[in-house]
Each structure stands twice: as C-alpha cells, then as structure tokens.
Amino acid sequence: MAGLVKMFGAGAMTNSIPEIRDTEVMFVIGSNTTEAHPIIAMEMKVARQRGAKLIVADPRKIWLAEHADIHMQLKPGTDVFLLNAMAKVIVDEGLVDQEFIDKHTEGWPALRDNLAKFTLEEAEKITRVPAALIREA
C-alpha cells in the first residue's frame, strides 16, 4: 500500500473490481480477501469459475488458500524475500518484459544484480516455501 500511496497518491486498487472476473491469474499475498473485501472475493470466485488460476502467499490457511491452485504458506515476515525469489525466477527463466521495464521502471539493473546474488534454495530456508513451489508460482 505504501508504494501505491507514493506512486498514485492513494493506497487503493489500480483496476476496477469488475475487471477481476476477466483475469487469467490472481496472486494474493497477505490478504484475507474473503473476509476483508467480500465484494472483491465474489469477483474472484467468478474468475475461478471461468478458469482463472489462484496463487496465494499467506502463512494462514485462509479460505482462499484452501481454494488456491498454489498456496505458498510462508514464514511470517518473509513476504519481501518471497517476492524477490519470484522475481528471480522471472529473470532466470527469461520471462522479463524488457520493453515494459525500460519504459516504466527505475533501478532495474540494481534489482537484477541483487537477484543474482541468492538461490531459490536460500529463499526456501528463509521463507519455508519449497523452491519448486516458488518456481511453479
């Protein structure tokens, strides 16, 4: 949320709620959306019925986690390390959209260089999420 506030002036969604039903993949980290945002959760359920993939990263076994394709039950407080590990997979597997990065981001070379300094096995030890599951997500 802090990043959204800094970039957009408000810690709110950058898409409309109805757009959720048309998504192909949903990634939820540290949010009990079903209880905290029931309208959004309803749209997520519609998306699931339409075949969207659901990936949840949360230490808790919340309702969303029980219905997810992938539940990464990470150690509390290791969210950033998990996100870095996922970014590492994107880089290592050549999934980077370089044109988008060049147009819309700053500091990419530093991030890329930092991601090269650790392994998914190290991420597994810190987050308690198996390296294979991080790669799959």
What pLDDT digit, counting tens, does each position of 45-62 carry?
A: 999 999 999 999 999 999
Contact 67, 61 (CB under 8 A): no
| Last residue of one domain, picked from the residues 56, 72, 88 | 72
Quick one: pLDDT at residue 16? 82
Quick one: pLDDT at residue 117? 93
65 shares its domain with 116: no
Q: Cα separations (Å) of 44 from 30, 65, 131, 137?
A: 16, 13, 27, 18
Show the low-confidence residues of the chain (pLDDT under 70). Answer: 1-14
Structural domain that includes position 99: 79-136
The whole-model pTM stands at 0.84
Contact 26, 69 (CB under 8 A): no
The rounded distance, in Å, linking the Cα atoms of 63 and 66 is: 5
The count of structural domains within the chain is: 2
